[in-house]
Structures are given as C-alpha cells and as structure tokens.
A and B are shown apart, each in its own frame.
Chain A
Amino acid sequence: MIRIECPWCGLRSESEFTCGGQSHIVRPENPAEVSDEIWAEYLYQRENPRGLHRERWRHTYGCRQWFNVIRDTVTHEILAVYHMTDSAPEVSGGRE
C-alpha cells in the first residue's frame, strides 16, 4: 500500500484512489479519418516500463478528481504529481 499526494486533498492512502493506467494517450483528432491500425493502437497499445511510468489516478473516495502521477514501477515511489492538463515534468531519480 502506497500513499499518494492528491493535488487537492493532500497525502492519502492508496486505498482511496483508483489507478486509470497510462496517461498522455492522445486521442486521434479525427477518428473517422484514421486507419484501423492507428485507431487500434490508440485503443489497446500501452507501455509497460520497468521504471518511470506516467499514469493517471483518480481520488475516488475523496474529491473524485483525476490527476497525473509519475511512478517508479520497481519501487512504487511517486516522483511527481501534476494536473491532467499539465505536461509531464522532468524528474530525477528512478530509472528510465
């Protein structure tokens, strides 16, 4: 069990949150015009890194807000928390 700094509510137990998987997935601007391959990639292909992972979490049993997290998948250390609309910050530590 890890603890996560909700940008709105502060440090809370992981049990209050829901992990939504990889973040920064870009939805094709004009879905009707992209090929099946590109659409399928957007739908199904995900990173599975050993090290830094940018993912989105929701404070389900709290403010219900989504936000981004950079987590080291080896240590579960959370190196950054930032808003959905922000781009991923540079972080040091962890392994890329």
Chain B
Amino acid sequence: MNQTIRRLPHARIEADSTVEFFFDGRRYTGKKGDSLASALLANGVGVVGRSFKLHRPRGILGCGTEEPNALVQLESGEYTEPNVRATLIPLYPGLVAKGQNAWPSVRFDLLGAVGLCKRLLPASFYYKTFMWPNWRSWEWLVRRIAGLGTAPQAADAERYVKQNIHADVVVVGAGRSGLEAALEAARDPAKRVLLIDSQEEPGGRLLGSPVPEERSWLANALSEVAQRDNITLLCRTTVNGYYDNNVLAALERRSNHLGPRSGNAFRECFWRVFAGRVILATGAIERPLVFPNNDRPGIMLASAVREYTHRYGLTLAREIVFYTNNDSAWQVALELHRVGVKVDAIIDIRGAVDSALVEGARDAGINHYLGTRVINTKGRSGIRRLKIQRAPADGDPSVQSVESLPCELLAISGGWTPTLHLYSQSGGKLQYRESDACLIPDCNNQNISVVGRAAGEFRGELNLQCQWLTPDVPPENQWVDFQYDVTAADIQLAARENFVSVEHVKRYTTNGMSVDQGKTSNVNGLGILALATDREIPAVGTTRFRPPFHPTTIGAYAGIELGALYKPVHLLPAHKAHLTCGASFDDYGSWQRPVCYPKPGEAEAAAIAREAVAVREAVGLLDYSPLGKLEVVGPDARAFLDRVYINNMVSLKHGAARYGLMLNEAGIVIDDGVVVCLAEDHFLLHTTSGGAAVIHRHLDEWLQCEWTDLQVVVNNCTTQWATMMLSGPKARDVLQQLDCDIDLSRESFGHMQYREGHLLGQRCRILRASFTGEVSFEVSVPARYGQSLWKILMQRGANMGITPFGIEALMLLRTEKGYLHIGADTDGNTMPQDLGWGGAIARKAGDFIGSRSLSLPVGLDADRLQFTGLELLDPKGQTISGAHILSADERTTNGYVTSAVHSPNLNRTVALGIVAGAAQRQGEEVTVFYDGLRQRARLVSPCAYDPEGNALNG
C-alpha cells in the first residue's frame, strides 16, 4: 500500500521531489505540487472518510471545492482545523491529517455498525425515532455517533488580517473564460482589473488538460497577465460572499500551503472587495449519477479522474469504467487513452451517441454499452464489480439483460451544474435550461456578467439525457447527498409526507445542508423532488444560496481585532494614579473606572462601605472625568435648551446651575444632568457618564433635521476636561488649601452654583452640585492636569482623612439619597410624571421635546410604574435589584426593585424601585418577591438619608 504509483510524464508535479506526510497515523510520501487527495490516491488510500450518519466508507469523489467525502481533520492542538477537503490541501512537508467521524479509524470503523440500522434512520430520523421519552435522552448518543470533524479546543495560534481592495472590474475565476475576460477588460489601461482565483495556481480546468495547445495557451495568458500593470492577480483566494453594490468578501490563504508555523505574519487575509463591475467565471461542477450503491470508494466524478490523471499524473486503477449520460465523459475517456491509460468500458444510458465518439472509443479499444444503466455496485471497502442492465434492441423492458463487469474505478458524469452560488447571492435569479438539465443565469440587478461554463457555455454540446435517479430499482441505496447520507428514498419520503417547498425538503431531508451546501447534490435532489411531486423543475424552484460559498475560518472574520484590540478602551487621565492607590477596575460604558480602592486583604464590599462612610464623615475623592460634558453655543442656545429639557431654562442665570430632565419625542426620559449657564449664549450640559455621545447625537439631530433655523452649535468636550469630585463635610477645607482665585466660602459659592477661575495657576471650572448628598465640588481642569490634581488633592487632604472612592461607593451614596440614576431606576417607559416632575411640566409654558406625548392616554394611566423608595419591614432584611413587587392577589407583578444596597450609614437595606401608581400609594405595604422569598416592605420617599438636606448645604 505504501508504494506510490508512478506518475505520468505530463503531470504538473515535481516528479523527483519527495514530500513526507501522515494520514491517520501512517507515514506516506507524495510530490511537490500534489494535493492531499492526489497524494492519498497515489499511495492507494481508497477510504478517506466515513459518512455523517451511517458511517459508510467513502472515497474521494471530486478534485476541488465540490468534494463531499474527503473531509479531514488537519493538524492538531492550536493549529487544528476540522472538515478540510483533502482536495484543497496542498501537500507540505510534515502534513498531519486524520479521517473524521470514525473510531478507531476510517479504515476500520466500529461505528460502521450503525449502517445496519439504516432502516431506523430515515430522513428526519431524529424527529421520529428518538422521541421517546424525549429527544434530550438520545441527543448525547446521536451527537457522538453522527458528526464530522472536531471543533478546536485551544485558541487559534495563527493570525489573520482584513483588507479592503477596490477595482473597476473584478473577475472571479482564472480559468480560460476568466483569463480571457480579464485580458479583455485590461485593454483599457485606465481600468483597474482584479483577477481572483481560488486554486493553488491559476488556470482552472486547463490545469487538468493534456492538450498541448491548451497548455501553451494558459502559459501565454498567464505571462500576459503578469505583464499588465493594471491587472492584479489574487491567487489562493476564494470569493465567498457577494453583497449589495458589488461588494465581495474573499478569503486569501496566505500561508496554508506552507503548513503551521510557516513564519508568515498572517495565515489568511479576509478581503473586502469593492467592484465596479463583476465578471463571474466560476466554472461548473460535475454532477454524480444516482444509482444503487453509488457511494462506494472508487466511484469518482469523470472531471476528477481527468484532473488526477493529467494534472497529478496518476493512473488511478487497472480497470477503469465510465458511466455517463452526456458527451463530456467520453472526451475524458478518450483523453485518458491518448496518454496511455487503459479505459475498459464506457456505459451510457443514452441509446444513441455521436458517431465520432463511438468510433473514437472503438479505435481506442474501449468497450461501450449504449442504452445501459448501472443497477448496482459491489465491493467491500471499494468498488470491485458493476451490475449493468442493457435495454434490448427491440426496447421491450421486460426482457432486459443483466451483466456483471469488473471495475476498480468508476468515472461518472450526470451532467454539469454551473457554479452560480455567487450569482444567486448577488440577487440574481436562475433559469432552468432543459437541454442540459442545468440552472443558468437569468436576470440580476447588479452590474454583473457571467461567462464560460458558469453561464452554461460548455464548449461543445453535452447532448445530455436526463436521469435523476435509476428507475425500476429500489431508491433506498441511491445516494444523492454523500456528505449527509441522503438517498433518493429520503426525498421521496419527504414528498409523500407532503413537503412541497424545496426549502422545506432541504431541511427535512438535510439534502444540501452539509458543509458543502450540496455542491454535488442540489440539482439531483431537485430532479428527484420534481419527479416525486409530478412537477417540472422550474415549478419546484431552487434553494437560495447564501454566503459563504466555502467555509471560512472564524479567525479571518475577527482579523486582528482580538484581545486588547477587540474594543478601544477609555482610560482616565489619572489612570496611573488610581493604580498607585490600589484601585480595582471595571468597564463602565467605554471607560475603565475604579470600582473601589481595597486595602490589602480587604474585600470589595468592605472597601465600598468604608469609602461611603468616609464621604459622609470626612471627605472622599472621586475621579468623575467620564461625566458627560457638552457645550452648547449660539444666539439661540437658550431657546434650544428650553425645548430640550422639561425644566425652565429661560430663567437660568449666568453662573448658576439647574437640574434638567431630557425626554425623547415619545415622552420617555432619556437623560438627566446639571445644566450650567456660562454666558448668555453659552451653556454647559452634563450628561449621564457614558451618555455624552448619545445625547450629542440626539441634540445634533434636532438641530440639523428639525429646527434648522436655530443658530446653535453643540460640541462634546467630555474628554477635554478631567473632573475630580471632592465630596464630604471637609471637602471645602481640602480645596481651600490649594491656591485658587475663586471664593469657595459657603456664603459666596452655594449649592448649584458654578465658578470659573484658576487653580494652582491653571484654568479650572468648579461646579457645586451633589450626587452624594454631601457638599461636593466638581473640579474640572484641562485633562493633562487631571493626574497632578488627583495627586495633590490626595496629598493635601491626607491630614483630613481624604479617601479615594470608586463608582460603587458613589452608587451606594446616591441610592441612600434616592437620587435617580437614569437607565437603572428608569426603563423604556418612564415619563417625567413617574419621577415626581408632573407639577413642573404643568408650570412650563412652551413646548419641549416629548411634551405632547405625556398627555397621550398611556401617559395618564393611573397604574404607570412610578419611582419610589422601598423600606423593608424587617430591619435585617435584604433584597436585590430585579426583585418583583407583587400585586395584591400575588398573581402578577406590580413593579420591581431597581437599586438595592446595604447602607453602612443607616445600617439597613436601602432600596429604590418603580411600582404601579406608587405616587398615590406612599405608606402602603407591599410584598417583595425574589428567588422564592416573600418580604414585606413599605412604599416610602426615595430619600432615606438626611431628607432635610442639611449635609448638602453645609
């Protein structure tokens, strides 16, 4: 077995090279220029895979992307790739591959016993056979037995990249038609032509041609392509997707042919191709004939036999028989004879064949059987004999003669299927051509044309006689989809069970659903369905092709956007200082922010509580830089803001700040924050942290699309400023130690006031607002001084017990105070009247965004979910955000808890929620339900800590 077959002299491989490789643990050698498939055939390896469902031994059927059987697991560990077609793997030194879906190996597979239960495994067997007691109890077994390759467990060690490319004309396929089209298009030197080919070398079917004129034509065409400055040739590149506006997705295999650890920077490149015009020269795929036991190893498409003989120089067998329904296979047989490969016989279902072909066969000493069908095949791990049935001369079907022929290789051709996956993806419709029994391009809205065999131009008539399955013999062993073990009987069964739509039949039988998406099986399946439902093929229709044409490595979709490059991260200007202070970080929106600053050995919850107490008792320092800061400038800025917020902005004075609530046009609360008047025509809007970009977009849309007469400009300056929040009874004391030209005294700088000035000689903006309930100074300095401000505040505040606090302590403190957090304490239905702002709205004179929606019936509903505090009756009770408030009859939910914390300052749970009609139900007792636990609670004011606000005004 290990003896490699001697190669024919005209092969395109390097005859004196030796390439070592391993398949299923055995060592073999092939030649440079081989594919794994040709190398396996050269070594006489017949069984290369096991079928998906029944574990039938399978051999190589095709020679390219159409291959349904020879799927292998390539390499191992972090380099492994499942379901790779052996026909597409260029042989490289040290290649390691394994057969799939077999145990212990594809040669000897114990799971082949499944084949004995074929009767139990008809189409949709898992819906029928494995229903008792339920599918779940069988799933593990079926998943173990059925299947293909194994998904990699380790992360992919290779790297991938994505690139864009633009061209005036893109030609897909560098076979004869593609090369002609590219050279023609490139005659105009102003046109950029991109020629894309999926094989290891360009040439298409010409690579498998023994004809000297064709070989020299190819060599000339390729050298002309190389000389043209305006043609770019992308080899080893498969176009997998065709999208709107002539955008294509293609995968270039840059180092696959060198194997793992090639040293190349990128294994594959994912190309996004932007094309002016697309010319598809994607060729055609040969169809198998459907007959009993047509899946044995040794049965191969005639086109593949041609390729293995002339391109790889293999003499595949001693007894070669052809079986066909059209002229193309005769040509292949005669070509084989011309290079000295013996062909024993040609079997043709047609009663009459072109006399030139018949004479050619006769001259070559090839027996031919016209009007004859193959009705069975024999052989254990590969085909050995054929049973053929000849129609007698007088045409009486009752006296047909049956004969048996020896056969080691059966080359089959059931006609050709133009490769129109990309055409279909592009939105093109297909039409059926009766004469060749094939689908060809019909119409398309995109700038696309199809040439060559893809367009059904077969260079010579096929003279095909249609036979979708073999009549008068049982359909059970007539395979249609080799990869998923679908037989003609399965399709007939689906038709009997009243599946009429071709899309339904596909899913019910799994015909064409495997990793090759039915490249060899779709049209045969259509034909059998048409026969079974007594319709014509055009009436049956075709399944729609979707990307990708050929499986694409997930890593190629990801490109370099992995790990740290997956998503950009916003770091705070004082990030390093937080690290020094021992911060633990987390992502909040796009920002990485300190959660808290645990001391050595301190748990996070303890750190958060300690920080929250420190703010109430002394002073805390928070990096508040992500707080959204939008500047709104222009003569109409004030009028604009008055329409944007539900609050009155007309009366906002220079240097003053006011809380604002922002709605969308449907009346839903989308943001809140403090608005500052910097000058008569200049305002500073604070948005929810992380919401600045969204609100910026919202404001821009109103200015640009609706109120185009307003003279206003909005700009997002969030990252221009670093903002440090000093909060707590000693906040002013800390700040006053720094050299600052702003009067910070309680008398001249009150709550909700804003000042600009200089701090330590640099510009600063200071806002007195509070999200903690304590006296707070939100000090903004140019971002480049953020870190030094943090350091100096920590240093100067040390003697006053300054404590850095993180976002979690801030959330705890605002929950104690019942301060709303948009998005947490509101949902997609919350209107301002649900937050206690009904009165303010009623007082506002003019129109504002969302105003009219508040008085729609939905806004007036008495059972709207409204913002409220919740006090658990059990002082030791705990709850969680998401816990439900039950209705009185406990049959439905009446709202839910939106924020819940253990308050270290009150030593009990503090909770906020939105509850149906809560404004009218204050003081009422309700049941809070979470995880099976019912707790009684009272609806109370949201503010649990310091309701008088004494701390705030201190």
Contact = CB atoms under 8 A, between A and B. Distances in A.
Given A1-B244, A66-B700, A76-B245, A85 B708 contact: yes
B852 A34 contact: yes
Interface string B842-881: 0000010001110011000000000000000000000000
A40 interface: yes
| Main DSSP-derived SS at the B contact region | mixed
B700 A36 contact: no
Contacts of A20: 701, 705
Nearest to B706: A27
Contacts of B244: 1-2, 75-76
Interface in A1-50: 1-3, 20, 23, 27-28, 30-32, 34, 36, 39-40, 43
B370 interface: no
Contacts of B245: 1-3, 76-77
A28 B665 CA distance: 12
Interface of A: 1-3, 20, 23, 27-28, 30-32, 34, 36, 39-40, 43, 56, 58, 60, 64-66, 74-77, 84-85
B445 A75 contact: yes
B700 A64 contact: yes
In which size bucket is the chain B interface?
20 to 34
Contact of B704 (A32, A34, A40, A65): A65
Given A20-B701, A27-B706, 4 more contacts: A23-B705, A31-B847, A66-B701, A77-B245
A30 B856 CA distance: 15
Contacts, number: 56
Interface string B209-251: 0000000000000000000000000000000000111010000
Interface of B: 243-245, 247, 272, 274, 427, 445-446, 665-666, 697, 700-701, 704-706, 708, 847, 851-853, 856-857
Nearest to B714: A64
Contact of A40 (B247, B272, B427, B856): B856
Contacts of A77: 245, 445
Contact of A32 (B272, B446, B847): B847
Nearest to A20: B701
Given A31-B851, A32-B852, A39-B852, A1 B704 contact: no
A2 B272 CA distance: 12
Contacts of A36: 856-857
A56 B244 CA distance: 19
25 contacts: A1-B243, A2-B245, A2-B247, A3-B245, A3-B274, A30-B847, A32-B847, A32-B851, A34-B852, A39-B853, A43-B665, A43-B853, A56-B705, A65-B704, A66-B700, A75-B427, A75-B445, A75-B446, A76-B244, A76-B245, A77-B245, A77-B445, A84-B705, A84-B708, A85-B708
Nearest to B272: A1
Q: Considering residues A34, A60, A66, which has the most beta carbons from chain B within 10 angstroms of its beta carbon?
A: A66
Q: Considering residues B245, B445, B701, B708, which has the most beta carbons from chain A within 10 angstroms of its beta carbon?
A: B245
A58 to B, nearest CB: 7
A40 B667 CA distance: 12
A30 B852 CA distance: 9
Q: Considering residues A31, A32, A56, which has the most beta carbons from chain B within 10 angstroms of its beta carbon?
A: A31
A75 to B, nearest CB: 5
**4 nearest CB pairs, A to B:** A31-B852, A76-B244, A2-B245, A66-B704
A66 B698 CA distance: 12
A2 B445 CA distance: 14
Contacts of B272: 1
A34 B706 CA distance: 18
Contacts of A60: 697
Nearest to B852: A31
Contacts of B847: 30-32
Contacts of B700: 58, 64, 66
